[in-house]
Amino acid sequence: MNPVYSKVIFGIGIILSVSAIISIYVTSIAITNQDFKPSPSPNTSSSSQTSSAQTSSTSNTKETNGQTVTIDIPQGAGNQLASLDNKYYSPNTANVTMGNTITWVNKDIAPHTATSGKDGSDPSSGKIFDTGEIPPGSSKSITIDQKGNIPYYCTIHPWMVGSSLNVS
């Protein structure tokens, strides 16, 4: 083999190794710093055809039609490897009465969404509801206008899947 090619391949190997070490280091810092409490940032309202959305910059929820269901997005949810039990939403399954409010509270340091559908390839993705981006330390609320078992996920982190909203 040509000595120049050997040196180039060796150099590329060194660069890849250093990149991997940096990536592992940054991930470990992110996991360690999950106790970081960012200040709430202002939210914007969003709506879809079949649901209405309300926003709140704190984890307090408004009561609508007599009941509010709160679903937490826990610290570390944005890191696929950090949640060994794959609980990216808590509770993972929620029972809701049609017309009641569901509020997602983002307790993570990364922004998230709660979007109806199994994943981004689902043709019905976002048709029932989509909170839009929920910044760290913020919450977004929606009112479901449709009955059934509705799976949902985070469009930013597609591995984050909530089992379903059971709407009766």
Q: Within this chain, do residues 13 and 84 fall inside the same structural domain, yes or no? A: no
pLDDT score of 115: 92
| Structural domain count, the chain | 2
More confident residue, 109 or 37: 109
- How many residues in total does the chain contain? 168
| Full residue range of the structural domain in which residue 18 is found | 3-35
Q: Within this chain, do residues 7 and 87 fall inside the same structural domain, yes or no? A: no
Q: What is the mean pLDDT of residues 93-97?
A: 87
Tell me how far apart the alpha carbons of residues 55 and 5 are, in angstroms, rounded to a whole number: 58
> Which band of pLDDT confidence, cut at 50, 70 and 90, is reported for residue 46?
very low
Of 83, 63, 62, the closest CA to residue 73 belongs to 83
Q: Would you tell me how many other CB atoms lie within 10 Å of the CB of residue 60?
A: 11
Q: Within this chain, do residues 87 and 18 fall inside the same structural domain, yes or no? A: no
Is residue 41, in this structure, part of any structural domain at all?
Answer: no
Q: Within this chain, do residues 142 and 61 fall inside the same structural domain, yes or no? A: yes
Q: Within this chain, do residues 30 and 74 fall inside the same structural domain, yes or no? A: no
Of 115, 118, 109, the closest CA to residue 82 belongs to 109
Is residue 40, in this structure, part of any structural domain at all?
Answer: no
Q: Within this chain, do residues 102 and 155 fall inside the same structural domain, yes or no? A: yes
Q: Within this chain, do residues 27 and 64 fall inside the same structural domain, yes or no? A: no
Q: 101-135 burial by CB neighbour count: b if 16+ within 10 A, else e?
A: bbbbbbbbbbbbbbbbbeeeeeeebbbbbbbbbbb
pLDDT score of 27: 66
pLDDT score of 79: 80
pLDDT score of 45: 38
The mean-pLDDT minimum among 43-57, 77-91, 140-154 falls in 43-57
Q: Within this chain, do residues 136 and 110 fall inside the same structural domain, yes or no? A: yes
Q: What is the mean pLDDT of residues 17-41?
A: 62
Q: What is the mean pLDDT of residues 72-84?
A: 77
> Which band of pLDDT confidence, cut at 50, 70 and 90, is reported for residue 133?
very high
- 120: which 2 tokens? 């981004």
Q: Within this chain, do residues 91 and 65 fall inside the same structural domain, yes or no? A: yes
Amino acid at 162: G
Q: Within this chain, do residues 115 and 143 fall inside the same structural domain, yes or no? A: yes
Is residue 45, in this structure, part of any structural domain at all?
Answer: no
Is residue 133, in this structure, part of any structural domain at all?
Answer: yes
Give how far the C-alpha of residue 49 lies from the chain's centroid of Cα atoms, to the nearest Å: 22
Is residue 42, in this structure, part of any structural domain at all?
Answer: no
